[in-house]
Structures are given as structure tokens and as C-alpha cells.
Amino acid sequence: MPYLPDSPYRPPVLLRSAHLQTVYPALYRRVEGVAYDRERLELPDGDFLDLDWSRAGAGRVAFLCHGLESGSRAAYVRAMARALNRRDWDVVVLNFRGCSGVPNRLLRSYHSGDTGDLATVVAHVTGTTRPRAAALVGFSLGGNVVLKYLGENAAAVPGEVRAAVAVSVPCDLAGSARRMAAWSNRIYMKRFLRLLRAKIAHKARQFPDRIREADFKGIATFEEFDDRYTAPAHGFADAADYWARASCRQFLPGIRVPTLLLNAVDDPFLSMSCFPVEEAAASPWLELETPRWGGHVGFVRPGQDEYYHEARAGEFLQEVGA
């Protein structure tokens, strides 16, 4: 499928700022018209996942996977759910472990390459609701999960899954982590680490013999956090091993359903290695669109209740006949 460097997205001049595009929706966007019904899915390892449904009475379902320390309540998730409901899709949001407002039960939680929980949810939903079609939509970390899931074992993806859309994806986790550690991104890093440290504080109370909150004081980068928690809690040797094995870019050639990857060139979270131009050019399944502007999960359209990436996702799913 094509590589589209000349995207039609053209924000007003005042919104041609990567940081404004990134921050404005998170702080000021309000999304009405989405009501969730929660389903708790018990897992074989003793943990659980909370699935939030926004139904349109359709015979097809879209799975939404959120970004780091986010969840179904985030404006960008609710807005995508609303946009897809309008286009006759039922939507189920997979809240990653510990991201539904209820702490998960185990020491482990979720990470950028954890496709097992997504596979479990897709199998559960397609097996119980029998949709005529399904689609996957992922944002940032959740986009990495979606792309890795589709490409690492295409034969295991249920036939109901007809298409996917991924937005603002750190396809190379090591490159993205280095970019996030830059001085210009210190505000974002501080926010993410504050949220992650709050999770660690709870884990320390749950498992005082296995994790100490004091070990996480003073951490300033994802590398430090992933070395101390993500890697050991999820079976990786260290942060570098985690990033190498969990990055979706290496799995993109294995994708076998029509897939749109929408990454803005000015995204402050992404390194140049997060733009898989060669993979898209070589693949009949992967379409890469790289707008000049858009920030990280921004793509703001002033005065319109659907942002560009939401309308584009609906358009793409219709184009490919999902």
C-alpha cells in the first residue's frame, strides 16, 4: 500500500505547533455522546481486564487500544469511539491492566509489546458476539501493540479482523525513548513518570517483598523505569532487551490485513526510526501517512467535533471494505 508523505491534513497556521497539537486536546477537549457499559474479563493467570463497550447496534466491532497510562475515559479514545459509532461500528475499549481505574491484581501490568491480552480479548469478543467484521485501532503504545499483534503471527489473527488503524506509534521503542529523554520533552516525561510512580507506589503496597517504592525515587527517563520495573516484571533482561523485542517495526512485514499507520512528522515523541517508509513501500497491506503537522495524537480540526485522524480512520475502514 502507498506511502503518503503529502497528507491532506492542513491545520490553521496557529496550530502548526507540535506541542500545541499534543497538549491542547489533552487539556481542553470535551467529548459528549459516549456511554460505556463495562465488562470484566477474568484471565487465566488470575488477573482481569476491564472492557468498556460503546454500542451502536451494529454487526461489526472495533477494538480500541489506548496509550501509556491512559484508558477509556481519555478524550481521544472517547472521540474515536463516537466517530466509529456514527459509522455503524460497535466499539470495545481494551483498558490495559491497571488502567481502568481499578488496580490489577498481579505484580505485572502491561507494556508496549504485550499482545497476549489483545489476542485474548479479540478471541473472546469474536467468539461470543460473532461480528461479521472486526477492526483494530491503536494509539501510541496501543498502536505498537496492535501492529505487533497483526504482524508477529498473522495466521493466528481471527478471520473477522478485516483492517486496522494505528495513530502516533513509536514503532522503534529505543528511538522513541531517546527522543522522550530530550530536554524539549521534559514536561511530558515528568507527567508520565509521575503517573508511573503512582502505580509503583500501589504495587509496593501490594507486593512489599518484591518491589520497593524507594528504588524509583529520582528516576528521570523511560530507560531507568523500564530497567527497574517493566523489564523484570515482564520477563525481559533490561530496558534494551524490552525495547528490541517489543518494538513493532520488525513485525510490520508480517501484517496481512489492510492497515493504516498515521504518524505526524512533527510528533515530539517519535524519532525518525519510528517512520517505517521502507516497510510500507514493500508491503501490499501497510499504508503509511505522514502529515507534516499533527503532534502526538493531535490532528486538531478547530470547530469540528471530529479531528482528522478520527475521520481518516472511518474513511480508511470504509475504503478497504471492513
Q: What gap in Å lies between CA 207 and CA 186, rounded to an integer?
A: 30
Q: What gap in Å lies between CA 236 and CA 246, rounded to an integer?
A: 10
φ/ψ (deg, to 5) at 51: -105, 130
Looking at residue 78, its pLDDT comes to 98
All cell numbers assigned to 56: 451502536
CA dist list (Å): 305 to 35, 85, 191, 260, 311:
17, 14, 27, 22, 10
Q: Whose CA is closest to 267, among 36, 7, 32?
A: 7
Give the pLDDT mean for 210-214: 93
The model's confidence at residue 321, banded by pLDDT at 50, 70 and 90, is confident
Q: Which residues are annotated as catalytic?
A: 140, 267, 296
Indicate the helix (H) or strand (E) that contains 218.
Answer: none
The model's confidence at residue 2, banded by pLDDT at 50, 70 and 90, is confident
Q: What is the tens place of the pLDDT at every residue in 249-308?
A: 999 999 999 999 999 999 999 999 999 999 999 999 999 999 999 999 999 999 999 999
Q: What gap in Å lies between CA 111 and CA 134, rounded to an integer?
A: 23
Q: What is the tens place of the pLDDT at every residue in 87-130?
A: 999 999 999 999 999 999 999 999 999 999 999 999 999 999 99
Q: What gap in Å lies between CA 313 and CA 80, rounded to an integer?
A: 9
Looking at residue 44, its pLDDT comes to 96
Q: Are strands 60-65 and 90-95 parallel, antiparallel or unpaired?
A: parallel
pLDDT cut 90: percent of the chain above it: 97
The model's confidence at residue 241, banded by pLDDT at 50, 70 and 90, is very high
pLDDT for residue 223 is more than 90: yes
Q: What gap in Å lies between CA 191 and CA 194, rounded to an integer?
A: 5
Per DSSP, the three-state class of 173 is helix
> What is the signed CA dihedral for 157, 158, 162, 167, rounded to 10 degrees?
-40
**Residue labelled with grid coordinates 521503542:** 173
pLDDT for residue 29 is more than 90: yes
Looking at residue 158, its pLDDT comes to 97
- Provide the H-helix boundaries in the chain: 18-28, 75-86, 116-129, 141-152, 173-180, 186-206, 222-225, 231-234, 239-246, 277-282, 308-319
Angle, nearest 10°, between helix axes 186-206 and 173-180?
A: 110
pLDDT for residue 6 is more than 90: no
Amino acid at 108: R
Give the pLDDT mean for 25-30: 93
Q: Which domains does the chain have, with CATH numbers?
A: 3-171+249-319 (3.40.50.1820), 173-246 (no CATH)
pLDDT for residue 242 is more than 90: yes
The model's confidence at residue 4, banded by pLDDT at 50, 70 and 90, is confident
pLDDT cut 70: percent of the chain above it: 100
Give the pLDDT mean for 17-45: 96
Q: DSSP for 24-69? A: HHHHH----S---EEEEEE-TTS-EEEEEEE--S-SEEEEEE--TT
Q: What is the tens place of the pLDDT at every residue in 154-167?
A: 999 999 999 999 99
Q: Who wins on pLDDT, 48 or 5?
A: 48
Q: Whose CA is closest to 106, among 97, 95, 115, 114?
A: 97
Looking at residue 1, its pLDDT comes to 78
Indicate the helix (H) or strand (E) that contains 272.
Answer: none
Give the pLDDT mean for 167-176: 98
pLDDT for residue 143 is more than 90: yes
Long-range pairs for 12-15 at CB < 8 Å and ≥24 separation? 12/302, 15/293, 15/300, 15/302
- Taking all residues of the chain, what is their mean pLDDT, rounded to a whole number? 96
